[in-house]
Amino acid sequence: MAWLSKPGSDAVDLTVVAVPGYFAAMGFEYLAQRRRLARGGAPSAGDYERRDTLASLAMGNLSLLAPFIVPRLLRPITPGRGRFAKAAIGVAATAAAVTTVADVVARRSERRRTGTNPGIDGTPADPMGVGGAGTAPPAAPDVPPSVARRVASVAGVAAVAVGGVAITSAWATATTSERLWDRRLVPSLGNGPAALTAAVIGWDFIYYWNHRFMHTSRYMWAVHEVHHSSERYNLSTALRQPVADALGTTLPYGLLCLFGVPPEAVATARGVNLIYQFWIHTEAVDRIGRAERTLNSPSHHRVHHGSNRQYLDRNHGGILIIWDRMFGTFEPEDERVVYGLTTNIDTFNPARIASHEYVDLARDLASSTGWAERLSYVLRGPGWAIQRRAARTARTALAA
């Protein structure tokens, strides 16, 4: 029965137990769609499409395997645990130093050769030198700018990748429910209804903020956008889950343990939350009446999956929609929802679905000319990256 539990926990994973129910519900939804089409109904984005469904199911299976595989792969370089952790930190620090030096050399070489500031704004360089009137810049090796930029590209990507993995793995290790339970601030709430209620509501509150963060920070969006990559919206879409959770940092759900909620109750709350969210991925249900004032619903969550401008980054709640209403991210369903990403990836290949945002991020890092730009590509929202690339393209076109 070990496969029914999350790694590091003895609690049964309810999301695995519910797998037969997922498939039964998808079967009923599919039959309902067939009946609608037989009666002359129009095809919709909620209909099943074989390749899309298989891709979603593949991602679902991979998401179940990832928690057992990825942490084991990362353990050797996890700070405080792995025997190669210090070496990994050394590699990241060295790569960061090389990147910084290469950036400086490239900028100074470009200034000498063109007489302009190679920065983002393209303004002329100070003819008297950087650092004040009459001050000449320190001497720099006569390295071609293109060579320095290539060094900065490779070293910059390595520094961010290795350093980022070290940070995320260390954070995951330090914030497990069991560790925080050992440091709890109040006595245990026990294993009764009070603890479970606190766990379910607390989990949902933390989930809202984590989900919102996934949409507003690029490195977290790289984890989460897998779930938004389908241009269909049916119960199979609910199973299209990320496989790279270990590469993100979230507000730990184990914080509930500090306030007396046992780890077992936290694990149960996770299952309850995710199982609830399964059924709202459908077009078969329109509205649920007055309950929509409090509960998340298919209508509310269709908005969340919309690429329409008015729907972007809205309705982040899990079970409860009240968090969105309270914190200004609620949007009712109005115009017809267009599902998918703002720029769709047009593939059903699970490997590409899981990796394409990381590939794009690596390209952006490789093209960056300084640390402010690199860290912005990682930490700022995906919209910032799109605007930055468009501005760079426009400047290149003008220069040509």
SS3 state of residue 5 = strand
Does any domain span residue 344? yes
Same structural domain for residues 100 and 166? yes
Does any domain span residue 109? yes
β-bridge mates for residue 116, sequence order: 124
pLDDT at position 144, please?
A: 86
pLDDT at position 111, please?
A: 87
| Spans of the chain, pLDDT less than 70 | 1-11, 115-141, 400
Same structural domain for residues 23 and 37? yes
Percentages (nearest 5) of helix, strand, coil residues in the chain: 60, 0, 35
Does any domain span residue 258? yes
pLDDT at position 1, please?
A: 35
Q: Is the distance from CB of 27 to CB of 236 less than 8 angstroms?
A: no
β-bridge mates for residue 86, sequence order: none
Query: How far, rounded to the nearest angstrom, does the alpha carbon of residue 141 sit from its chain's CA centroid?
Result: 41
Both tokens of residue 302? 């269709």
Q: Is the distance from CB of 118 to CB of 103 less than 8 angstroms?
A: no
* pLDDT tens, residue by residue, 335-381: 999 999 999 999 999 999 999 999 999 999 999 999 999 999 999 99
Q: Which helix (H) or strand (E) holds 26?
A: helix 19-38
* pLDDT tens, residue by residue, 214-264: 999 999 999 999 999 999 999 999 999 999 999 999 999 999 999 999 999
Same structural domain for residues 203 and 257? yes
pLDDT at position 143, please?
A: 77
Question: Which of 142, 174, 206 marks a domain boundary?
Answer: 174
Q: Is the distance from CB of 261 to CB of 191 less than 8 angstroms?
A: no
CA 245, CA 255: separation in Å to the nearest integer? 18
Domain of residue 93 covers: 78-174
pLDDT at position 130, please?
A: 40
In the chain, the number of structural domains is 2
Same structural domain for residues 61 and 204? yes
Question: Which of 153, 174, 195 marks a domain boundary?
Answer: 174
Question: Which of 174, 193, 216 marks a domain boundary?
Answer: 174
